[in-house]
Structure 1
Amino acid sequence: MTETLSDTRAHTYDAPHPHAFTRGEVGWLPWLEPFPQDDLTDRHYEGLVDRGRASSDYFRLLVRDPEILRSRTLVDKDIFYNTAEGLPREERELAAAAASRVNGCVFCASVHARFAAHFSKNPELVDTLLREGVAADLGERWNAITDAAAALTATPLAFGPAHVERLRAAGLDDLEVADVIHGAAFFNWANRLMLSLGRPVAPPDQA
């Protein structure tokens, strides 16, 4: 079966929305019918990169253009998992969480906040970001990262030399500064895509 975007159905839901940013397991529901899992071909699986993503409604929406999805996923993996040089994983996740907090993407913020808390071993500080936003005092190094991420998220033109200077003053080298920019910029785009295609669902403790 070959399905086109015009064949999809629009959905509405009664599931509760989250009422706060959280590290809890936020769900996500699509506005459109995802590509049928039984109809996925080798081309689609190549686009998914990880076969396990076939169970995700989000990725089965994006897999309608598998070549673009593959490029998107490989960039994502390189930004967050290629930590041989540059920022430690927790601060890449922090930049993504900060961008998601500014954009109001509760789902993405929850995912990256969990990673930031796990790798930093400092869940209280991550919860402060979720609760108070990017103006929260997280210590100068994290403040510099969240401030840069917030500027990029508001508009790329808001990010400038002063942010780079602050990051360097906080101890980041050029590769680490680049990782802050990549993590925030990627999720600035990803937030908007996810917010357009569906909506978050409250975790069990907020339902």
Structure 2
Amino acid sequence: MKSRFPLCPLAELSGLPDDVAASILKIQEKSGFVPNVFLMLARRPAEFRAFFDYHDAIMYRSESSLTKGEREMVITTISADNHCLYCVVSHGAILRVYEKNPIVADQVAVNYRHADITPRQRAILDFAVKVNKSAWEIADSDFESLHHYGLDDEDAWDIAAITALFGLSNRMATVGKLEPNLEFYILGRTPRD
């Protein structure tokens, strides 16, 4: 399978705006490879910047009580719900790393309701899936379910924002036939020494 839209070759980063090229090189240095989503979005620098600015604002918001693992659980779950292979594989890998659990991503991607996760995490994912499938049905009772597990309305906002951003990402990756990097398939599957 080949991506529908051309990926920016690493050899051509010098033709990109400096800030976009620097972002790509930074992720390469950090992870040892460049996730294909960076190379797909680089073809439109303004959209690249907008996507990753919003990504960073919601994924690294320090005031949230959501853990990094819970954020990745939301992404993996709704990506599975949206049938996005790229996002399930890539964010499932990140989830395995954050949770230090080689099976959790597969469980939540197939059926989070039967995954070995906490009741709090299940409530987070219930809310995310409802936002993803039928946001117009969100009611006070959905917020009360989150409150029961110590999550406040700002946490609900975070869950909804993550769901919304990755709904966009899921659709663009799917329409673009974006292939997961091979590195993602094995990342976090075996414990590190």
TM-score range, shorter chain: 0.7 to 0.9
Count of residue pairs the alignment pairs up:
176
Task: State the one-letter code of the partner of 2:106.
Answer: D
| CA shift for structure 1 position 57 | 4.5
Query: Does the aligned pair in 1 maintain the 2:73–2:108 contact within 8 Å?
Result: no
Between 145-154 and 104-113, report the one with greater CA deviation. 104-113
Mark the structure with the bigger radius of gyration: 1
Q: Which has the higher helix share?
A: 2
Unaligned runs of 5+ in 2: 29-33, 187-193
Are the structure 2 counterparts of residues 92 and 43 from structure 1 closer, same or farther at C-alpha, using a change threshold of 3 Å?
same
1:30-179 superposed matches below 5 A: 30-41=3-14, 44-47=17-20, 50-52=23-25, 57-131=36-110, 133-136=111-114, 138-179=117-158
CA distance in 2, matches of 1:78, 1:58: 18
- Name the counterpart of 2:173: 194
Give TM-score scaled by structure 2 length: 0.75
Are the structure 2 counterparts of residues 173 and 60 from structure 1 closer, same or farther at C-alpha, using a change threshold of 3 Å?
same
- Name the counterpart of 1:22: none
Are the structure 2 counterparts of residues 88 and 56 from structure 1 closer, same or farther at C-alpha, using a change threshold of 3 Å?
closer
Unaligned runs of 5+ in 1: 1-12, 14-28
Give TM-score scaled by structure 1 length: 0.70
Identity of aligned residues (%): 22
CA distance in 1, matches of 2:80, 2:86: 10
CA distance in 2, matches of 1:170, 1:35: 43
CA distance in 2, matches of 1:155, 1:87: 22
CA distance in 1, matches of 2:51, 2:98: 24
Query: Does the aligned pair in 1 maintain the 2:58–2:162 contact within 8 Å?
Result: yes
Tell me how large the CA RMSD over aligned residues is. Answer: 2.8
